Amino acid sequence: MKQVGKGVGFSLLSPLIVGGVLGIYYSFTLGRSEMFFNLLLSAISNAYIVGLAMCLFVVPGYILMFRYNKVQYGGLLTLGLLGGAVFSYLFAAQSGVGFIVNALMSMLAAGLFLFGLRAGYRKTE
């Protein structure tokens, strides 16, 4: 269970990474530095979508897959994308770029969750 906690901790970096990358991209293309902070803060303010997707889709899906020895990385990434899409539709944006960014941010969080699990297993072996 310590590895699951570490994986969830890594997944919390997802809004920072997405906000930072989009902010840097739009800062350079538009030439306005305040765009970086606007996008970073916007991604951080939508971090609750990532948390809900992790709590209700990815972690229970991982535990179920682990129980039956059928852990598939593609399945967990799909659960992250599905959870991000569902909660983005319900709470944040029902269409447009915000919907896509929130769903992809949740999928990245699921990938970081897997990275945290693998990093924890490598140290225990």
The per-residue pLDDT for range 42-93, each reduced to its tens digit, is 889 989 999 999 999 999 999 999 999 998 999 999 999 999 999 999 998 8
Residue 82's CB is within 10 A of a number of other CB atoms, namely 18
**Nearest-angstrom CA–CA distance, 38 and 72:** 36
Q: Is the pLDDT of residue 124 over 60?
A: no
Q: Is the pLDDT of residue 29 over 60?
A: yes
**Residue 99 structure tokens:** 């919907």
**Nearest-angstrom CA–CA distance, 73 and 51:** 19
First CA to last CA distance, the chain? 15
Angle at 34 between CA 53 and CA 108, to 5 degrees: 20
Decide: helix, strand or coil at residue 55: helix
Q: Is the dihedral of CA 110, 43, 98, 50 positive or negative?
A: positive
Q: Is the pLDDT of residue 1 over 70?
A: no
